[in-house]
Amino acid sequence: MMRLFSFLILTLCLAACTNNDPVSKVIESVNEDIDTYSERSNRAIEILDSLKNFSPAFSRSQEMAYNLTYSKAMNLLYIPFKSDSIMLKVDEYYSKHGNKNEKMWSKYILGCVYRDLRDAPMAIEYYNKALAYTDSSKRCLLMLARIHNQKSFTFSLIGLDSIALKESDEAAYYGMKAGDTLNSILDYNLKSASYLSANNIDKAIEVNKKASELCRKYGFYKDADFIETQTFLFDLKKRDFKTAKQKMDKYEQLSGFFQNGEIQEGKEIYYYDKGLYYMGVNMLDSAEIMFRKCLKHSQDVSCVSSGLRGLSLMYQKAGISDSAAKYAILSYEANDSAYQRNIADKVVQMQSMYDYGRYKDIAADKTAESARMRSWLFLAVLFTLAVVALAVIMHIKNKKDTELSIKETTSLFEAAISRLKTEKEELKKLLENSNGINTDIINEKEQEVKELNEKIRLYEEKIKEQGMAVSDCIVQNSHIATRFRYLANHPKERPTNKDWKELNDYISNNMPGLYNLMVNKNIKYEERLITYLIKLNLKPGQIAAVLGMRTSSLTMARKRLFKKVFDEEGTANDYDRRIMSM
């Protein structure tokens, strides 16, 4: 520490002899130091902490330079950001008063802040803004590698693995072009995580192996060892627990993420992996401890969801079904798929907006030929949008026409069935009472029956051409199905006892096989209603609305029904498919 203060005092004295702004010189010196040697970030933090005594006297520019440099050092040391308040002020200041490099860094660090705050759309937005201030210099090539690395990480976090893979390739390309061989290899190795997330284990192992070989080729032996330890995830998936344990022990020694047996903040998902190992070797008490550690990090939805899922699996293995079901439902709620889809859509839209804006800015600097190209591009986009709009309109129209056609055909089909029944009864009476007379009438009736059978056959073929079974078509166009679809779309209007009785009677009269199956299996009345509504082809969201249930509860109920009705394990969707096939 004495050496640190000596360095600080000497730097301030030298700066004071040559410039009237010694504090700015120290900040600038520290900033350049960590830009060139990222491993000196610890020392940079110590120097900057020592400067805090001077902070009340900082000018506005000194305050912003200090905060930006401190944030850069924090980011290099993997110290997670807790708030965006400081960096928002820094970015606002440099957007107005900074040079190109300062603008680039302020936006990049703000992207990293949002990365730590788990706000993927904002992180991607600021990474893209930082890209706008890069050029072809070596320093910027390193920065390009850094930005694409972070974009890959962020896209991977929200499950957009195909985009993450492209960003990893970009990061590796710019790193190698800048001569940063090690980080280029590490960026390439990021693809392994994306492939693993996409459940492409063979490809993940291939990437990891190549990255390790490249590290050894260029003399980065310690990094090669560390990369090889990361394959414990593959071993867990293959249930090779002995190998996984060896690699996990080595990972904890080499990663630098562990202190006093606890992992660095932000990487707690490792506890879920370790819990899976303990569960695999039947150390269920240790597995529970690991999974519950995940629950302590409520700000990380993914970590909490994984912990809850782990507890559900652990209790299931222990044979405690009530607790297994409880934690399965909690995991489902914590990992709401609708939220993931919305956030992913928002990021994709943001990336598309950035690409469009980027190309537009480049095109603005081109010659008149580029302007003509933009016009053609605009017309092409306009034409494409018109074609897409027309296709959508035609699809909607065709769908409505198909639905109307099916409804009309079904109506004619049912009328023909009814008339055929009547004609057959009349023909039977004529045959019983004819005594050899009225042969012309009998022949006429037989011809009518024959024609009706042919009509019914043609109606059946027409219905099948629309991709529907005849029985399903009749059910879905029945009065009772129409009534419950209406109720599903008007949740404020609740089904009456009469509605439920009509549904029960309809199934009993028209689908005795399904009705008797429910009775023979002693299925509760409420669960029967779920089954009957499935048979009417109502979607899970509609069924939940009609019954006043949460979708998560409905999912669990359908899964339980599969076991009760068919004596098999299966998912809620499996139950829907089995019922619809009956």
**What are the backbone angles phi and psi of residue 99, rounded to the nearest 5°?**
-85, 180
Task: Name the residue with higher pLDDT: 20 or 170.
Answer: 170
* Distance (Å, whole) CA 324 – CA 317: 9
Q: Which two structure tokens, joined as six digits, stand for 70?
A: 């401190």
Selected residue with higher pLDDT from 463 and 123: 123
pLDDT of residue 375: 74
pLDDT computed for residue 503 by the predictor: 87
pLDDT tens, residue by residue, 403-453? 556 566 666 656 766 676 776 777 677 677 766 556 767 677 777 777 767
Percentage with pLDDT > 70 across the chain = 75
Quick check: pTM over 0.85? no
Q: What average pLDDT does range 156-162 have in this prediction?
A: 79
Distance CA 69, CA 62 (A): 10
* Arithmetic mean of pLDDT over the chain: 78
Per-residue pLDDT, 402: 59
Contact in structure between 485 and 478 (CB atoms under 8 Å): no
Give the pLDDT mean for 235-256.
84
State mean pLDDT over 358-387.
67
Tokens of 177: 């072009």
Of 123-137, 323-337, 338-352, least confident by mean pLDDT is 338-352
b/e 374-391 (16+ beta carbons within 10 angstroms → b) = eeeeeeeeeeeeeeeeee
Which range scores top for mean pLDDT: 224-228, 395-399, 467-471?
Answer: 224-228
Mapped onto helix, strand or coil, the DSSP state of residue 438 is: coil
pLDDT of residue 574: 87
Residue 271 pLDDT exceeds 90: no
Cα–Cα distance, 543 to 546 (Å, whole number)? 5
CB 334 within 8 A of CB 301: yes
Lowest-pLDDT range of 380-394, 466-480, 512-526? 466-480
Dump pLDDT digits (tens) for 42-69.
677 788 777 777 777 788 888 888 889 8
- The arithmetic mean of pLDDT across residues 562-580, rounded, is 87
Q: Is 230:251 a contact under the CB 8 Å cutoff?
A: yes
Interacting residues of 286 by C-beta distance below 8 A, sequence separation 6+: 275, 278
- Domain map (residue ranges) of the chain: 388-469, 478-580
Contact 506, 480 (CB under 8 A): yes
